[in-house]
Structure 1
Amino acid sequence: MIDPISDSAPEQALDQEQQQDSLQAHFQPNISADEIEQVYHLKRAQPLLQVFTALFHGGFDGVLVRLLVLRELAADTASSSFTRADINTRLAYLLPESLETVLMRLRTNQLLAWDAQQAVYRVTPMARNVLSAIDGLLTLGKEEDTADMGFLLSQVAGAQVMGGVTVDQLNHLLGRLVDLTEEFSDAIASGSEFRLRASQAKWHMACDWVEKGSEILRAITSDENADSATHRAAQAIGRAQSALLNMQGMFSRALNQIERQRVHLGQSGLSTTDIKRWLLLHEDLASLAEGAIDQPVVPLFITPAEMIDVAETELLADRASNVVSNGLPTGTDAPTTVSDGPAMQQELDEWLARLSDFAALGNFPSIADEGPKSIPVQDSLLPATFAVASYRASLLPLLGDADEARLQGATAELARLPVTFTPSDEMIQLPDLHVAAMSLASLSLSLNPEGDKSDE
């Protein structure tokens, strides 16, 4: 015979009346607590809620010891009953006084049942249900679930398999999806790269759970025995999942925008993101300044009166320097300067005349009509000094330049010549007094398919 701990009927009625009065004290005077639907459901679950109160009331150390004792006894599947000697042996690492207190609390709140005839303890079914729920939550807490959807989805999946999924369970899952969507939207609106990347990792985890839960939702929506409220909740979860999946493009656009605006520090390859990531690795940023500054920076302040005095002094000094005390200064001859413009222009004209002769198959070089139509570039640049040869070589890329040919002037005439400049990466040694080596290149005539006859 199992002996439950119970009070007399008058005492129970008195306790219920006191509880009702204390509960009503939290509501408005014109509102009855029994008129609230959720109060009715919670009152129906009072035995179960009292079990959680017995386990989790008080400090964390006391809660830990109660769960430890209950889990140790429930984990022993060799026997369904335990004598006090068995309990003392199994929990010998606890003090006898502490063990006695815990056993009394568990027995009083229907987590342990005492069989007076056989003098043994038994773990009640309610205690096993509570431990199963707690173990499931603890197991999922060990896994890397940054989206915090695993436990909610497992509850929905288990209830759906057993045929007892409720609207409240679906609403809990729907609420978590809405929270995640708002969290990701805030991260995108913040413009913070670090917050975006952290939210994107959580988004990928949430999408994995969404993919796992899609089959469960399809089973719920296709169940003909489910009521309309369950169908509506499942459809709302489907819409929330779609909104969550559509945020991939928003993450990509936000990260691309940050990538375009990233600032790099010179040619070092470091960016502001790298600097911030390095700074986040240091808990004490002030310690980085140790040894970097010999003495504190002393700020200098200036009052408006001092600013006016300085401005007035500068203004009067400038005026005094411009005053001519002894009349106008005597005149002086302007310095004689030699302009290199005409010499450079003459060199350009001579160079243009030589290339024009070559283009007309004339005297540069002296070749006949049957001669070659291209010559090495050094034959056109030399003989000349190194400066003149360098100047001529700098003008060669203008040959055939369409943009330059549309302009006016000597360089435009040079660009319109039917001469093609063909450079290469090789070098050629030259027997010249001023130029020892030169890039291997050639000048060739640009003739149309009919040759010179079209020009006649």
Structure 2
Amino acid sequence: MQISSSIAAAQPDEGAQPSLQAYFKPDISPDDIEQVHRLRGAQPLLQGFTALFYGGADGILIRLLVLHELASDPNASTLTRADINAKLGYLEAESLETVLYRLRSHQLLNWDAGQGVYRVTPLARNILSAIDSLITLAQDDDDAEMGFLLSQVAGSQAVGGVTVEQLQHLLGRMVDLTEEFRDAIASGSEFRLRAAQEKWHTACDWVEKGSQILHAITNDPDADAATHRAAQAIGRAQSALLNMQGMFSRALNQIERQRVHLGQSGLSTTDIKTWLMNHEDLAGLASNAVAMPVTPMFITPSEMIDVAEAELFADKNTALPAALPAGENASIVSNEIPAMPVELDAWLNRLSAFAASAAKTASDGGSAGSKVQDTLLPASFAVASYRASLLPLLGDESEASLQGGTATMARLPLEFAPQDGMVTLKDPHVAAMSNATLAPISDNKPETQHD
């Protein structure tokens, strides 16, 4: 009995909540932590979230539903119990009373006993606004978390209250995306690369929307040094994201050169994998494919040694044939020249002619630069897209050190300069194109030394 009593006394009280100091080391005081002081100052807001999100998922959904219905009418500042019953008549009376009591006890609803009416508190409206913004962005198929972070920065900048923490959250998400895209490029998987490229396009849309906001922050004389440093770091992260277009193009071009085709059928391993990925039940493809199931045969090591010995002596005793078999004519297979190398050769000839003409114009003192659309067009949309995807290779030192058509293109004395914006074209195949110029490399730029 004494042992049982001592064991029972040593058990911790499951209902007791540990103090804040219990989470820290004995020689550390929570008051010395800056973030603890900041979170303590936001206790009313945190308690409001606790009131809504404590418990099971169904209870959380009902609390949010009730609070959203009560705050949905902006013209009604007060609500009687009859109004609440009319709005939420589809709920059980006891369940509704339980939810209203919880909202009242955590200052999300105010009860005016003198007038007998309810009022939705400003704290509740702020919480609902933040939740609705996140839910709205999450319903899209794009990178919702980056859009939410950027909307928080934009809203704070509009009212003059952007904080370093908000900028650091946005910077952290951009760094995560950059690492994710680099991992996709390093993987060498075409499917992962294309999925990452689609996500990259969405991220670039958010970068374009946030550029004006960051420009306003960096030019704000009232912003402190920490805010300026965070905004500048975000600008560098944006540049790193935008510069990944060339990395995606080179990786996809490398995969295209290494693509394996199945004979002369026109099918590639990518086509087969895409077809297999569209089937939810891969095992079902083998239905009725095998007439008789495979029957496993189990033998002991002794039988295995006997069979191996017999096979070994059978190979040794087999005599070589006295004469070689008669020769046969090799089958002749016509192999068509792929379309892309032909297009690459034509594109190299066109760029080489342009480089020579531009160099002559520059030596005569004229303007040697040209809009990129004048060089890419006329062409079909597929050919123009293929040509445009190769332009980032111009001046690429790593590609120029290799051999092949793309390496020859990288060594051309041309400079590709993309700019912001799109240019509308009057072309039957291409409606618009990125604003960019193509010009010969200036003489004052150092040339790459080749052995």
Task: Output the TM-score relative to the length of structure 2.
Answer: 0.64
Give the C-alpha shift of residue 148 in structure 1.
2.9
Change (3 A) 1:221 1:70: same
Instruction: Give 2:158's match in structure 1, choosing from 153, 157, 161.
Output: 161
The amino acid across from 1:309 in the alignment is A
Q: How far off its partner does 1:142 sit?
A: 2.0
Partner Cα separation in structure 2 for residue 273 and residue 316 of structure 1:
48
Tell me the CA shift for residue 303 of structure 1. Answer: 3.0
Q: Is the 8 A contact 2:262 2:268 kept in 1?
A: yes
Work out whether residues 147 and 203 of structure 1, in 8 Å CA contact, stay in contact via their aligned partners in 2. Answer: no
Alignment match, 1:255: 252
Letter of the 2:216 counterpart: A
Residue 167 of structure 1 contacts residue 229 of structure 1 at CA under 8 Å; is this kept in 2?
A: yes
Q: 1:167 Cα shift?
A: 0.2
Do residues 80 (structure 1) and 77 (structure 2) align? yes
The 1-side partners of 2:145 and 2:259 are apart by 32
Contact 2:164–2:226 (Cα < 8 Å) also in 1: yes
Count of residue pairs brought into register by the alignment: 303
Provide, for residues 317-352 of structure 1, a one-character-per-residue CA deviation record: whole Å limited to 9, x for no partner.
539x99xxxxxxxxxxxxxxxxxxxxxxxxxxxxxx
Residue 153 to residue 73, structure 1, CA distance change in 2 (3 Å): same
Deviation of residue 280 (structure 1)? Answer: 0.8
| 1:51 maps to amino acid | G
Q: Does 1:125 align with 2:122?
A: yes
Correspondence for 2:205 among 197, 205, 208: 208
2:143 paired with 1:146? yes
Q: Per the alignment, do residues 314 and 59 of structure 1 end up closer, same or farther by CA in structure 2, a change over 3 Å counting?
A: closer
Q: For 2:111, which of 87, 111, 114 is the aligned residue?
A: 114
Q: For residue 309 of structure 1, what is the aligned residue in structure 2?
A: 310
Q: What is the alpha-carbon distance in structure 2 between the residues aligned to residue 317 and residue 196 of structure 1?
A: 54
- With 230-239 and 87-96 compared, the bigger mean Cα shift is at 87-96
Residue 281 of structure 2 corresponds to residue 293 of structure 1: no
State the SS of the aligned residue for 1:121. strand
Distance 1:200 1:159 in 2: 30
Q: Please tell me the residue identity of whatever aligns with 1:260.
A: R
Q: Deviations over 1:240-266 (max 9, x none)?
A: 001111111111111111111111111
Which deviations, in whole Å up to 9, do the C-alpha atoms of 1:96-145 show, x marking residues without a partner?
00100000000000000010110110001111111111111112122232
TM-aligned CA deviation for residue 79 of structure 1: 1.9
Mapped partners of 1:256, 1:317: distance in 2? 52
CA contact (8 A) 2:154 2:213 kept: yes
> In structure 2, what residue type is equivalent to 1:190?
S
Answer yes or no: is 1:56 the counterpart of 2:53: yes
* Cα drift, residue 222 of structure 1: 0.4
Contact 2:109 2:119 in 1 (8 A): yes
2:64 aligns to what? 67
Name the SS for the 1:149 alignment partner: helix
Q: Match for 2:312: what amino acid?
A: A
Consecutive unaligned residues in structure 2, runs of 5 or more:
1-15, 323-451
Change (3 A) 1:30 1:54: same
Q: In the alignment, is the contact (CA less than 8 A) between 1:147 and 1:206 conserved in 2? A: no
- AA of the residue aligned to 1:241: Q
Q: CA deviation at 1:29?
A: 1.8
What whole-Å deviation, never above 9, does each CA across 1:149-197 have from its counterpart, x for those lacking one? 1111111011111111000000010000000001001101111111100
Tell me, in whole angstroms, the C-alpha distance in 2 between the residues paired with 1:318 and 1:111.
96
The CA distance in 1 between the partners of 2:130 and 2:251, in whole Å, is 40
**Contact between 1:51 and 1:110, CA under 8 Å: does it hold in 2?**
yes
Looking at structure 2, the residues matched to 65 and 147 of structure 1 have their Cα atoms a distance apart, in angstroms, of: 25
Say if 1:147 and 1:205, in contact at 8 Å, map to a contact too.
Answer: no
| Whole-Å separation in 2 of the counterparts to 1:147 and 1:182 | 18
Q: Which has the larger radius of gyration?
A: 1
CA pair 310-136 structure 1, distance change in 2 beyond 3 A? closer
Change (3 A) 1:88 1:305: same
| Mapping for residues 141-290 of structure 1, pairs under 5 Å | 141-146=138-143, 148-290=145-287
CA contact (8 A) 1:149 1:209 kept: yes
- Within 2, Cα distance between the matches of 1:105 and 1:56? 12
Q: Where in structure 2 are the equivalents of 1:315-394 lying within 5 Å? A: 315-316=316-317, 318=319
In 1: Cα distance, 2:249 partner to 2:126 partner: 45
How do residues 434-445 of structure 1 correspond to structure 2 at under 5 angstroms? none
d(CA) in 1 for partners of 2:128 and 2:58?
Answer: 18
SS across alignment from 2:19: helix
Distance 1:312 1:238 in 2: 75
Distance in 1, Cα, partners of 2:44 & 2:79: 24
Question: Matched residues, percent identical?
Answer: 70
Letter in 1 for 2:243: N
Q: Secondary structure of 1:148's partner?
A: helix
Aligned residues of 2:259 and 2:269 also touching (Cα < 8 A): yes
TM-score by length of 1: 0.64
Shift of 1:85: 1.2
Of 26, 31, 44, which residue of structure 2 is paired with 1:34?
31
Given that 2:138 and 2:144 are in contact with CA atoms closer than 8 Å, whether structure 1 keeps it comes out as no
CA distance in 2, matches of 1:48, 1:65: 20
Q: Equivalent residue of 2:23, what SS?
A: coil
- Secondary structure at the counterpart of residue 319 of structure 2: helix
Deviation at 1:296, TM superposition (A): 2.5
User: Could you say if the C-alpha distance between residues 136 and 265 of structure 1 is closer, same or farther in structure 2, counting changes exceeding 3 Å?
Assistant: same
Partner Cα distance (2:88, 2:316) in 1: 94
2:129 and 2:219 map into 1 onto residues whose CA distance is: 30
